Amino acid sequence: MKYETVFILTPVLSDVQMKEAVDKFTKVLADNGATVVNEELWGLRKLAYPIEKKSTGFYVLVEFEGAPTVVKKLETAYRRDERVIRFLTFRLDKYAAEYAAKRRSLKADKKEEVVVEVKED
C-alpha cells in the first residue's frame, strides 16, 4: 500500500538536528520493511494557529510503500519524539498516487531546467 505522511518539527531545531529527526523516521520505515518513495523538506513555515506556543515549524513530507502495520509503528515513533509537534499519515488511493507521481515528475523537470540554465552560463 502507498502512504504519505506529513509531520511538523519544532522550529527551535538547527538544520542538522532537523535532518537527524527526518533520518530517524525514514529509518523506522526502512527497519519495518517499507520503502521510501519520496522525501520533501518544505522548510520553516508559519502554522495556521499556535501549537505549544509556537507559530512556525519545519514541515516534512515522506511518501512510502509498506504494510499497514508500519503506519502504527511510525506514528508511535512520532508520539515518542518531543521534536514532533503534529503529524498526519494517510493511505493514497489510485488517484492520489497518480497525482503524487505527477507532482514528483514536475519537480524533477524543474530541477533539470535549473541545471541546464546554470550550465549554459
Domains of the chain, by residue range, sit at 2-120
47-71 per-position pLDDT tens digit: 999 998 999 999 999 999 989 899 9
Question: To which H or E segment does residue 92 belong?
Answer: none
Which fold does the domain 2-120 belong to in CATH? Alpha-Beta Plaits (3.30.70)
Closest CA relative to residue 42, chosen from 27, 54, 28, 57: 57
102 pLDDT more than 90? no
Which position has the grid cell 494517510? 90
Give the model's pLDDT for residue 77. Answer: 93
Q: How far is 38 from 76, CA to CA, in rounded Å?
A: 21
pLDDT averaged over the chain? Answer: 87
Which residue has 506556543 as its cell numbers?
53
Per-residue pLDDT at 118 exceeds 80: no
Q: What is the pLDDT of residue 11?
A: 92
121 has pLDDT over 60: no
Statement: the pTM of the whole predicted model exceeds 0.85? no
